[in-house]
């Protein structure tokens, strides 16, 4: 958390979020195997980072606009709803 306060940016936000998810083992406790698989798929893409919303079956990821095509391929593979918000 200290690193996020020192350097508040997307990468540190996601890193802190992932560490928290890992530390409290929420995906294991809630049996979120599909969510865990989706996160693993997202992190294999060239994204800035991805993590879960803390109390739900939702994930988020930050990616650069030029990488959206890969993200859209993941959407068709998983049959999920993906929303884009451009940050650049």
Q: Is residue 15 part of a domain?
A: yes
Q: Is residue 83 part of a domain?
A: no
Q: Is residue 85 part of a domain?
A: no
Number of helical H runs and strand E runs in the chain: 5, 2
Q: Is residue 87 part of a domain?
A: no
Task: Give the pLDDT confidence score for residue 56 in this predicted structure.
Answer: 62
Q: Is residue 49 part of a domain?
A: yes
Domain count, the chain: 1
The count of other CB atoms within 10 Å of the CB of residue 35 is 19
Q: Is residue 52 part of a domain?
A: yes
* Sign of the dihedral through C-alpha 76, 78, 82, 84: negative
Contact indicator for 51, 60 with CB cutoff of 8 Å: yes
Q: How would you write the pLDDT of the chain (88 residues) with one tens digit per residue?
A: 688 889 888 888 888 988 888 899 988 998 888 888 888 888 888 888 888 876 666 777 777 766 566 656 655 555 555 555 544 4
Task: Give the pLDDT confidence score for residue 46 in this predicted structure.
Answer: 80
Q: Is residue 33 part of a domain?
A: yes
**Residue 62, domain extent:** 2-78
Q: Is residue 88 part of a domain?
A: no
For 49, the enclosing helix (H) or strand (E) is strand 49-52
């Amino acid at each position: 958390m200290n690193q996020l306060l020192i350097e508040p940016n997307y990468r540190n936000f996601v890193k802190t979020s992932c560490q928290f998810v890992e530390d409290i083992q929420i995906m294991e406790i809630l049996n979120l195997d599909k969510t865990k698989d989706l996160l693993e798929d997202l992190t294999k893409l060239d994204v800035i980072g991805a993590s879960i919303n803390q109390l739900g079956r939702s994930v988020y990821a930050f990616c650069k606009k030029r990488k959206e095509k890969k993200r859209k391929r993941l959407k068709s593979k998983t049959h999920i709803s993906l929303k884009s918000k451009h940050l650049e």
